[in-house]
Amino acid sequence: MDSHTVRSALISLVLPAHNEEGNVPTIYSEICGILAAVPYQIELIFVDDGSSDATAVCVRELDSSPGVVVRLIRFSRNFGHQAALLAGLHAARGAAVITMDCDLQHPPQHLPQMITAWEQGAKIVQMVRRHNAGTNWFKRTTSRSFYRVMAILSDSPVAKQAADYQLMDRQIVDYLLQIGDRQPFFRGMISWLGFPATQIEYTAPERHAGQSSYNWRKMFNLALDGITSLSSKPLRLAFYLGLSAAGFCLIYIVFAVIAFLIGKSVPGWTSLIVTVVFLGGVQLICVGIIGEYVARIYELTRRLPPFIIAEDEKTEPPAAKARNAGE
């Protein structure tokens, strides 16, 4: 890529913000200072996720900086972090898009390193937390447990301790926007695409200002969205459990009949238990079959593209190459 192309290229940064009035000016000045030397125009997209403080006012009052365009998107109410990321990706126009939180727990000093990795051909630059300052034992334990469960249930496991701090090439962003999931889980969606990711470790500092609005209910909902958006294995688990239970029911029916034949059963018990166990087995199998069809409906409604093209190269026969070279 020549110098003119590089300097005319645009990189977008998407920053979800919910009650971040104390962080907006600081993260803006840090980003502008750190990226001042990069040969790109910068687009900063702040997505105000229904803030009740002066977050939007702080964004509007940011001082202009050479080569930096600031854009504000405001939600009518709080729709959540992943929805804010989705809105930012729809608005982003850059050849590469970086998503990061507004509370400075995603340190901006790594941005040049991420851009360098992208220039070297990485389609995805995934930031992975090595340590999270100020995080208690319980939160660390639940986080590790979440990634273990995701590795078991998901067809595309998410990198351990991955965050929504990442750089994505335009091709990746376009594929993500094709999926059209109303409740997206971007870490999982990016993993599902299958492109290799360059990982960079970082230490997450404590929040610069304010308090996190990410309570336990929101974290649980995010985990639930992550599991259900990446796999239909829980539905299929019901089918396998139903088959297993039906198998035990048949064994118990044989036991009940043998007990009746050798005269070791209470009168009427055999017919009753056989009927109950038979109907229970049929019901479990039917529930499993219904689960399989629900899984199929689920897969169809996810609107995932049927395939992902990493490259599309045109090759010519040797004779055509020689003819074109002669021309």
Asked if residue 230 lies in contact with residue 185, where contact means CB atoms within 8 angstroms, the answer is: yes
Three-state secondary-structure class, residue 188: helix
pLDDT of residue 65: 82
Does this model's pTM top 0.75?
no
Neighbours of 284 (CB within 10 A): 21
| Predicted local confidence at residue 3, as pLDDT | 39
Determine the Cα–Cα distance for residues 129 and 150; give it in Å rounded to an integer.
17
Burial class of 310 by CB neighbour count within 10 A (0 to 12, 13 to 18, 19+)? exposed
Distance between start and end Cα atoms, the chain: 26
**Structure confidence at residue 264 (pLDDT):** 76
At residue 150, the pLDDT reads: 65
List, run by run, the mean pLDDT of 10-residue segments along the chain (327 residues): 52 94 93 92 93 92 88 89 90 95 91 96 91 62 67 67 88 88 79 88 73 61 65 69 75 79 74 75 74 70 59 54 55
Contacts of 167 (CB under 8 A, 6+ apart): 96, 97, 98, 114, 115, 117, 118, 122, 124, 125
Measured in residues, the chain has a length of 327
At 10, which helix (H) or strand (E)? strand 10-17
Domain boundaries, the chain: 7-230, 233-301
Give me the pLDDT at residue 193, please.
Answer: 86
Superfamily the domain 7-230 falls into: Spore Coat Polysaccharide Biosynthesis Protein SpsA; Chain A (3.90.550.10)
| SS3 category, 169 | strand
